Structure 1
């Protein structure tokens, strides 16, 4: 999702005028002394570094490199294989500019295969007990492996996605090594855990294999308590973004809304594209919970065209208008995997809001009575369907009562009698959410922004033909929702 930014310092410093022998000596010295500065040389997507190393390597043949590497690293075959394969990767890789479609799939496959040959011995180095110094290089190699695998698979017309699957198999082992490290000293292999987890999430979402995402969560369960204190904010944002999307896919809406809200609030304000991407899924998780975005937010992130009509229809309980709003942008919603979710969940909310508006319900009022005949007349006007009858209305009311959206009882053929309390949408089904196995949670004191807002005065819609007043967003946890 987010691209790793290169370090500001020049990683090619001191390399430009060197020889192949000096370059190999630098690799050997860093590896044998277990020097973390090896990460300045192992940057498989750093174009400037790659070009500098290419210019050095062309002065000798690969056979000459290999003899020099074996001479300097001795009998440690793992280190020898790593350096040899990495230099072969540098010499052979041809990085393509993003969006360039002129290159053949064979070139993308070749790039991935070259890096995979590097990753295997690198993972064996990382497996060693004293290899904490290799944490940053394994993160950079894993990040590159994910990108090259997905690029290679996307360049083909096949749906096999073999490269992404192979990358996931390699990285799963590396993630396990990172998460089980018990060394109390820093640097620790555990510092690679969430970088690797985010890479695996990216692959599994690309493969549409959500089942394996739970395996990633299990592997990271013993380091989740350190996420807030020991890991970069960028990794936290990405982790909670994928965690929220996974919960949304599994219809765990409360957990999805919580995780995506954290990701949105922790994401930098200047990262407009990333915040917009998070917000799309945050809105999709929030609408079925009765939490509505303010218009200003939709306009700021250029989402008013897609979500504006949906929100307005949901406020007034107008299902035909809402269904039309979803269908107009069907491909947009389907591409993001939320179309079916919104169709399923928002129809129920529309019917609930229809009864609330028709009966003029407010918390604390005495039980209101709504005659079946009156309800049918209102429903036919709003839903623009002349075939709606009392049986349809009573069946829907019974369904909403059973699900917990209304406190009422139905007197068949006569009326619906509503209780004095109106259940809040966000609390409906909460007991079911709590019964699921616990997911990682983060309480961050710095969360102050509020991407969503709700009714500013009432906990339910008033009986009105106009939209409901929204006066901006306060803190989400303190705001009253459209319940």
Structure 2
């Protein structure tokens, strides 16, 4: 037996016997540094099962053997075979979970995440033949959902409970469901979570909380429940560590559109801190603040591809109404806060920012502002006047139902 493989199995045995979950997880990761030394030994897959049976107790012999197979196949770019071996590994581990306590969670995280990665590789290899369907990722989701079930239904005492793996597994499943565009499946997870007696979310690792709140915020966003979406995304952004710049920008991709709809603009300091975010939202925010509708439309066109990819285009587009409200409010202020304003004044303001519109279009825009609640008043078509409410004619945007 190659020396490094002998050392690996001895170390594996000791870690499992001593319930060292963190170190054992590293020994079962496809990305850990131990993998290269093993691969350099040119492991014979025909002998792996027997070698592991001779050195390890059940179920660790089967788990280690599956890991070694997945490792070799993945190195040879045989992704389907690697996926099948990893699937067996996860299922062997799941069957063993009833006899394990909280210490095993790091292992659970690693092997399930590696299953997701390998499933993605297989699907990427076969997307054309599968007509764009991600069949292996769907299969992996079903297997991973069982790991979630083993966590959330654990009845061990709180200190050793595998329930503390629940939010990590939810984050992993939500990531897959969003990738598959099957966000409706997230509702089943949330129902199970609501029906279970769980420790406070504050007792879970910060990384698990951030991931959960990020995806929950995105779910609320998709359901157009913007108040709840903002609350969850804001919590996720605040808790996400400053060093995790990529994750913070990912949260901002949905948080900023939600805030724009409410008329809350990102600060200059925030945009300067996140250049990629500034590239998408800098000109949009500036146009809203100035009430420059044309500049807003131009900025929206420039960012269109990115916003569509992020799934936020239509939400950001709604903020055009706020830019227009700002412009019309400026007319009101310039005219001395008069409650009776000639419609041609608004037409002139639109032309000033580069929009060529006739009187009929101007009336329609004002009527739309009144209908949406951005302006309180009514139009006198015959006299071409906008008659404003004497009390709060331009209500605070945050008070307006979106």
Deviations 1:44-91 (A, max 9, x none): 23422334566789489235236536xx64xxxxx44x6324323324
Task: Give the 3 Å change call, closer, same or farther, for CA 21–403 of structure 1 in structure 2.
Answer: closer
Residue 47 of structure 1 aligns with which residue?
A: 32
Residue 86 of structure 1 aligns with which residue?
A: 64
Q: Distance in 2 between matches of 1:226 and 1:144?
A: 28
Contact kept? 2:22, 2:107, Cα under 8 Å: yes
| 2:378 partner SS | strand
Q: Distance in 2 between matches of 1:165 and 1:54?
A: 30
In the TM superposition, residue 262 of structure 1 has moved relative to its aligned partner by 1.2
Q: Distance in 2 between matches of 1:135 and 1:377?
A: 65
Residue 246 of structure 2 aligns with which residue?
A: 273
Task: Give the 3 Å change call, closer, same or farther, for CA 243–185 of structure 1 in structure 2.
Answer: closer
Q: Distance in 2 between matches of 1:21 and 1:57?
A: 16
Aligned residue-pair number: 389
Task: Give the 3 Å change call, closer, same or farther, for CA 167–416 of structure 1 in structure 2.
Answer: same
Q: How does 1:175-214 map to 2 (within 5 A)?
A: 175-214=148-187
Aligned equivalent of 1:406, options 364, 375, 396: 375
Residue 361 of structure 2 aligns with which residue?
A: 392
TM-score by length of 2: 0.85
Residue 144 of structure 1 aligns with which residue?
A: 114
Looking at secondary structure, tell me which structure has more helix per residue: 2
Unaligned runs of 5+ in 1: 1-14, 74-78, 98-102, 431-483
In the TM superposition, residue 216 of structure 1 has moved relative to its aligned partner by 2.4
Contact kept? 1:175, 1:219, Cα under 8 Å: no
In the TM superposition, residue 162 of structure 1 has moved relative to its aligned partner by 1.3
In the TM superposition, residue 357 of structure 1 has moved relative to its aligned partner by 1.8
Q: Distance in 1 between matches of 2:338 and 2:141?
A: 58
Residue 327 of structure 1 aligns with which residue?
A: 301
Task: Give the 3 Å change call, closer, same or farther, for CA 354–197 of structure 1 in structure 2.
Answer: same
Q: Distance in 1 between matches of 2:398 and 2:80?
A: 48
Q: Distance in 1 between matches of 2:337 and 2:199?
A: 48
In the TM superposition, residue 354 of structure 1 has moved relative to its aligned partner by 2.6
Q: How does 1:10-49 map to 2 (within 5 A)?
A: 18=6, 22=10, 25-26=13-14, 30=17, 35-42=18-25, 43-49=28-34
Q: Distance in 2 between matches of 1:96 and 1:130?
A: 28
In the TM superposition, residue 311 of structure 1 has moved relative to its aligned partner by 0.9
In the TM superposition, residue 138 of structure 1 has moved relative to its aligned partner by 1.5
In the TM superposition, residue 39 of structure 1 has moved relative to its aligned partner by 4.8
By relative contact order (CA 8 Å, sep 6+), the higher-ranking structure is 1
Task: Give the 3 Å change call, closer, same or farther, for CA 94–249 of structure 1 in structure 2.
Answer: farther
Aligned equivalent of 2:387, options 417, 433, 443: 417
Task: Give the 3 Å change call, closer, same or farther, for CA 47–20 of structure 1 in structure 2.
Answer: closer
In the TM superposition, residue 131 of structure 1 has moved relative to its aligned partner by 4.5
Contact kept? 1:237, 1:266, Cα under 8 Å: yes
Task: Give the 3 Å change call, closer, same or farther, for CA 224–130 of structure 1 in structure 2.
Answer: closer
Contact kept? 1:164, 1:203, Cα under 8 Å: yes
Residue 379 of structure 1 aligns with which residue?
A: 350
Residue 47 of structure 2 aligns with which residue?
A: 61
Q: How does 1:113-124 map to 2 (within 5 A)?
A: 113-124=84-95
Aligned-residue CA RMSD in angstroms? Answer: 3.1
Q: Distance in 2 between matches of 1:407 and 1:268?
A: 43
Residue 10 of structure 1 aligns with which residue?
A: none
TM-score by length of 1: 0.72
